[in-house]
Chain A
Amino acid sequence: MAMPNEPQGERTNYLNKEYGVWSWLLTTDHKRIALLYLMSVTFFFFIGGFFALLIRLELLTPASDLVQADTYNKLFTMHGMVMVFFFLIPVVPAVLGNFLVPIMIGAKDLAFPRINLLSWYLYAIAGLLMTHCMLTGGVDTGWTFYTPFSTAFTNTKIIEAGLAAFVAGFSSIFTGLNFIVTIHRMRAPGMTWSRLPLFVWAHYATSIIQILGTPVVAITIVLVAAERLFHLGIFDPKLGGDPLLFQHLFWFYSHPAVYIMILPSMGIISEIIACFSRKRIFGYNFVALSSIAIAVLGFLVWAHHMFVAGISVYAALIFSFLTYFVGVPSAIKVFNWTATLYKGSIRYDAPMLYAFGFLGLFTIGGLTGLFLACLGINVHVTDTYFVVAHFHYIMVGGVLMAYLGGIHFWWPKISGRMYPEGWARLGALTVFIGFNLTFFPQFILGYLGMPRRYADYSHMPEFQVLNVLSTAGSTVLGIGYLLPMLYLLWSMRYGKPASDNPWNAAGLEWKIPSPPTTFNFEEEPVVTWEAYNYEELDAPHKEEVPVAR
Chain B
Amino acid sequence: MHDSSTAVVHGEAQTEAHGGHDPALLHHFAEPQQQRDAASLGMWIFLATEVMFFGGLFCAYLVYRLKYFPEFAAASQSLNWKLGATNTAVLICSSLTVVLAVWAAQHAKRALLLGSLVLTILLGFAFLGIKAVEYAEKFEKHHVPGPSFSFVEPVPGHPDLMANPYHAQIYFSLYFVMTGLHALHMIIGIGFFVWLLIASWKGRFTPAYNTPLEMGGLYWHFVDIVWIYLFPLLYLIDLRK
Complex: chain A residue closest to B33, CB-CB: A185
Q: Contacts A215-B53, A241-B170 hold; do A545 and B38 have CB atoms under 8 A apart?
A: no
Q: Which of A107, A112, A185 has the most CB of B within 10 A?
A: A185
By the criterion CB–CB under 8 Å, are A242 and B63 in contact?
A: yes
Q: Bound complex: CA of A494 vs CA of B63, how far in Å?
A: 62
List the A side residues contacting B164 at CB < 8 Å. Answer: 240
| B10 CB within 8 Å of chain A | yes
The one of B49, B54, B145 in contact with A212, judged by C-beta atoms closer than 8 angstroms, is B49
A176-203: which residues lie under 8 A (CB-CB) from chain B? 177-178, 180-182, 184-186, 189
The one of A211, A213, A219 in contact with B57, judged by C-beta atoms closer than 8 angstroms, is A219
Complex: chain B residue closest to A178, CB-CB: B42
By the criterion CB–CB under 8 Å, are B170 and A234 in contact?
A: yes
Q: Mark A529-549, 1 if CB is under 8 A from B, else 0.
A: 100010011000011010100
What is the size, in residues, of chain B's interface with A at 8 Å between Cβ atoms? Answer: 51
Q: Mark B135-162, 1 if CB is under 8 A from A, else 0.
A: 0000000000111000000000000000
Q: Mark B40-69, 1 if CB is under 8 A from A, else 0.
A: 011001101110111111011001100110
By the criterion CB–CB under 8 Å, are B28 and A519 in contact?
A: yes
List the B side residues contacting A536 at CB < 8 Å. Answer: 2
Interface size class of A (residues with CB under 8 A): 35 or more
Minimum distance in angstroms from A46 CB to a CB of chain B: 31
Q: Bound complex: CA of A185 vs CA of B1, how far in Å?
A: 28
List the A side residues contacting B167 at CB < 8 Å. Answer: 240
By the criterion CB–CB under 8 Å, are B173 and A545 in contact?
A: no
By the criterion CB–CB under 8 Å, are A108 and B27 in contact?
A: yes
The one of B2, B3, B37, B52 in contact with A185, judged by C-beta atoms closer than 8 angstroms, is B37
By the criterion CB–CB under 8 Å, are B177 and A222 in contact?
A: yes
Q: Contacts A108-B27, A524-B14, A537-B1 hold; do A226 and B166 have CB atoms under 8 A apart?
A: no
By the criterion CB–CB under 8 Å, are A173 and B7 in contact?
A: no
By the criterion CB–CB under 8 Å, are B147 and A511 in contact?
A: no
Q: Mark B69-103, 1 if CB is under 8 A from A, else 0.
A: 00000000000000000000000000000000000
By the criterion CB–CB under 8 Å, are A211 and B49 in contact?
A: yes
By the criterion CB–CB under 8 Å, are A181 and B42 in contact?
A: yes
Q: Mark A219-235, 1 if CB is under 8 A from B, else 0.
A: 11011001100111110
List the A side residues contacting B55 at CB < 8 Å. Answer: 215-216
List the B side residues contacting A218 at CB < 8 Å. Answer: 53
Minimum distance in angstroms from B26 CB to a CB of chain A: 8
A107-121: which residues lie under 8 A (CB-CB) from chain B? 107-109, 111-113, 115
List the B side residues contacting A241 at CB < 8 Å. Answer: 170
By the criterion CB–CB under 8 Å, are A112 and B3 in contact?
A: no
| A239 CB within 8 Å of chain B | yes
| A154 CB within 8 Å of chain B | no
| A523 CB within 8 Å of chain B | yes
Complex: chain B residue closest to A30, CB-CB: B28
Q: Bound complex: CA of A185 vs CA of B57, how far in Å?
A: 32
Minimum distance in angstroms from A498 CB to a CB of chain B: 17
By the criterion CB–CB under 8 Å, are B10 and A526 in contact?
A: yes
Complex: chain A residue closest to B5, CB-CB: A545
By the criterion CB–CB under 8 Å, are A545 and B56 in contact?
A: no
The one of B6, B11, B30, B166 in contact with A233, judged by C-beta atoms closer than 8 angstroms, is B166
Complex: chain A residue closest to B42, CB-CB: A181
By the criterion CB–CB under 8 Å, are A112 and B1 in contact?
A: no
List the B side residues contacting A184 at CB < 8 Å. Answer: 41
Complex: chain B residue closest to A249, CB-CB: B56
| B114 CB within 8 Å of chain A | no
| A245 CB within 8 Å of chain B | yes
| A525 CB within 8 Å of chain B | yes
The one of B6, B38, B63 in contact with A111, judged by C-beta atoms closer than 8 angstroms, is B38
| B174 CB within 8 Å of chain A | yes
By the criterion CB–CB under 8 Å, are B6 and A529 in contact?
A: yes
List the A side residues contacting B200 at CB < 8 Å. Answer: none
| A214 CB within 8 Å of chain B | yes
The one of A226, A239, A522, A526 in contact with B177, judged by C-beta atoms closer than 8 angstroms, is A226
Q: Bound complex: CA of A281 vs CA of B14, how far in Å?
A: 35
List the B side residues contacting A525 at CB < 8 Å. Answer: 7
List the B side residues contacting A249 at CB < 8 Å. Answer: 56, 59-60
| A528 CB within 8 Å of chain B | yes
Of the A-B pairs whose beta carbons lie under 8 Å apart in the complex, a sample of 16, sorted by A's number, is: A108-B28, A113-B28, A181-B42, A185-B41, A186-B28, A189-B10, A215-B52, A216-B53, A219-B53, A219-B56, A233-B166, A240-B164, A511-B7, A524-B9, A533-B2, A547-B5
14 more contacts with CB within 8 A, not counting A178-B42, A232-B169, are A107-B28, A185-B38, A189-B10, A219-B57, A220-B56, A222-B181, A226-B173, A231-B147, A233-B173, A234-B177, A240-B167, A511-B4, A519-B14, A545-B6
User: Nearest 7 A-B pairs (CB), nearest first?
Assistant: A215-B53, A219-B56, A232-B173, A108-B28, A215-B52, A109-B28, A240-B166
Q: Which residues of A contact B (CB under 8 A)?
A: 107-109, 111-113, 115, 173, 177-178, 180-182, 184-186, 189, 211-216, 218-220, 222-223, 226-227, 230-234, 239-242, 245, 249, 252, 511, 519, 521-526, 528-529, 533, 536-537, 542-543, 545, 547
